[in-house]
Amino acid sequence: MNKNKDSLFSLNIFQQILLAMLVVAITPLGAIWYVDYRIITQDTENNIQQRMSSVSDRFVGEANNWVNTNLRALAQNASLPDMASMDPRRQLPILQAIVNEYKWSYVAHTIGPDGKNVTRSDGKIPLLTPTVSTSRTSWGASLWASRRQSPRRPESRR
């Protein structure tokens, strides 16, 4: 029985040299592969990070420009005497012009100093209950264009 065990694990000189040569040849190749793999992985991660940073910076810039442009337009409209009058009949044409100019908006409305809706661009009667608004301004009239969530558009806008 010892002979069978020894014969299974015993290698002749050719097999020992072949095994040694394979270990000597494969070990550096494996190490080189591992190092190259780590370098390529790290370079790819850095490249992706730089691209994502660049794209996100551009998105932030575009979003800030869009917001600033709309705020300037709303500030300009809010400074008009008809808007500052807080008279719904005088505000309605301005609000309708805002909605017609900015196709992404559904309705524009004004909120008085007391927090109540004054008028709406769609001509509907404003809510009589006070509304919570974070768009209070120092222009005398708080003007805000809001976007409707549903895809259906009013009849006048089709």
pLDDT digits (tens, 9 = 90+) for 99-138: 898 888 888 888 888 888 888 988 888 765 544 444 443 3
Contact 126, 140 (CB under 8 A): no
CA 157 distance to own-chain centroid: 28
Check whether residue 8 and residue 58 sit in a common domain.
yes
pLDDT digits (tens, 9 = 90+) for 45-81: 999 999 999 999 999 999 999 999 889 988 898 899 9
Tokens of 144: 């805000």
Check whether residue 67 and residue 87 sit in a common domain.
no
Provide the sign of the torsion angle of the four alpha carbons 149, 150, 156, 158, taken in this order: positive
Contact 127, 119 (CB under 8 A): no
The three-point CA angle 138-72-134 to 5° equals 45
Domain boundary, last residue among 71, 94, 122: 71
pLDDT for the residue numbered 32: 95
Contact 105, 98 (CB under 8 A): yes
Full domain range(s) for residue 119: 79-149
pLDDT for the residue numbered 157: 43
Check whether residue 65 and residue 22 sit in a common domain.
yes
